[in-house]
Amino acid sequence: MQGVRPAPGVRRASTTPPCRTRSHFRQTVNDVLEHKGREVLTIDPDATVFEAIDAMAGRDIGALVVMEGARLVGLMTEREYARQVALAGRTSRDTRVRDVMLPDPPTITPDQAIDQAMRLMTNRRVRHLPVVDGPELVGLVSIGDIVAAIIGEQRTVIEHLEHYIAG
């Protein structure tokens, strides 16, 4: 299979300006990566869409980071497949990832808070964020990772408040 592999340290094409609004959450994107791991599954832009969806199905994930050499150039997701291939009447074996991927996707940095990740996903309508530290790709977080982290932190706060009220 062409180009589906865990990513080593990489360079990206450009950087998304980090969202620096104040956070009420203690956990950062780095805390989420500590929990879920730092492996990132990537694919070459010249791979076929069939190879991409086969890799996603094989790993039970919904996205692949598209790497052109050491540059992060896009995101290939189930949404791109549904809209740009299936609905557009293309065939997955004859279509290249580069022709249907989300180009130059938003990214986040490890030090940003989990609600900043959620806000970025909501504003940019994406469910996956590559995590970059300077020029390096250091992980990927999905909406499920962030929702789980937010629910976990809120549960802890509620337990503390209940304990406080009960004396």
Q: How far is the CB of 142 from ligand NAD (least distance, A)?
A: 3
CA distance 63 to 31: 21
Of 38, 41, 37, 40, nearest to 51 by C-alpha is 41
Contact flag: residue 140 with ligand NAD (CB under 6 A): yes
**40 contacts 7 by C-beta, under 8 angstroms:** yes
Contact flag: residue 52 with ligand NAD (CB under 6 A): no
56 CB neighbour count, 10 Å cutoff: 20
Contact flag: residue 141 with ligand NAD (CB under 6 A): yes
Q: How far is the CB of 60 from ligand NAD (least distance, A)?
A: 7
Nearer to ligand NAD, 1 or 143 (CB): 143
CA distance 7 to 42: 6
Nearer to ligand NAD, 58 or 135 (CB): 58
125 CB neighbour count, 10 Å cutoff: 9
- Using CB under 6 A, pick the residue from 34, 39, 94, 159 that binds ligand NAD: 39
Contact flag: residue 73 with ligand NAD (CB under 6 A): no
Where do contacts with ligand NAD occur on this chain (CB under 6 A)?
36, 39-41, 61-65, 127-128, 140-145, 148
